[in-house]
Amino acid sequence: MAIPPETFSEGARRPNRLRLLEEYVREGGGFLMVGGSLSFQGINGRANYAGTAVEDALPVSLQQGDDRVERPDGAYPEVVAAAHPVLSDVGNDWPDFLGYNRFETDVDAEELVLIDGDPLVTVGAHDEGRSAAFASDRAPHWGPAEFVEWDGYPGLWAGPVRWLAGDR
């Protein structure tokens, strides 16, 4: 992810895109990371964002290695900060999920939704910018049909985009 194809194949030097993203957020940008098998740390730790500038920009700390929590039986989200603007168009009655990425909320960030006691939606500031982490998929395989067809689905994505944009 950090190494562009021309760096990999030709040894060409290019700017570190992960550092550029962190700088963008630090200087006032917004950033949302959504979970999945190749997000956060992902399957066998292959996404490998722990210890990178992307982790610095996020309101969470990533664990080492495979961070996936598979829940084929379903795990029901618990909204703990319904009044936050990120959740203004969503409500409290969410469908369950079939898995998520496990991470820890930074001390200066805010957990909005939990799943199995772990953070599902977390938001925070990064210097002049804002970032958010959504621990599950936005679509199948961890987000079942009930999730993508849920009445709250459009608001779940519109709310964070508005909040991450701030007053801009």
pTM for this model (two decimals): 0.95
**Which whole number is the average pLDDT over 148-165?**
96
Residue 74 token pair: 């379903």
Give the model's pLDDT for residue 114: 98
The residues spanned by each domain of the chain are 16-159
Cα atoms found within 13 Å of the Cα of residue 51, Cβ hemisphere only? 6
Instruction: Say if residue 1's pLDDT is above 90.
Output: no
Give the CA-trace dihedral at 152, 156, 162, 166, to 10 degrees: 130
Nearest 5°: the CA angle 97, 98, 100 is 80
Give the model's pLDDT for residue 156: 96
At the fourth CATH level, the homologous superfamily of domain 16-159 is: Class I glutamine amidotransferase (GATase) domain (3.40.50.880)
**Which whole number is the average pLDDT over 85-100?**
95
Predicted confidence (pLDDT) per residue in 53-75, tens digit:
999 999 999 999 999 999 999 99
Give the model's pLDDT for residue 167: 59
**Other beta carbons within 10 Å of 32:** 18
Q: Give percent of the chain above pLDDT 90.
A: 89
Predicted confidence (pLDDT) per residue in 143-154, tens digit:
999 999 999 999
Dihedral sign from CA coordinates of 39, 43, 46, 48: positive
Give the model's pLDDT for residue 141: 87
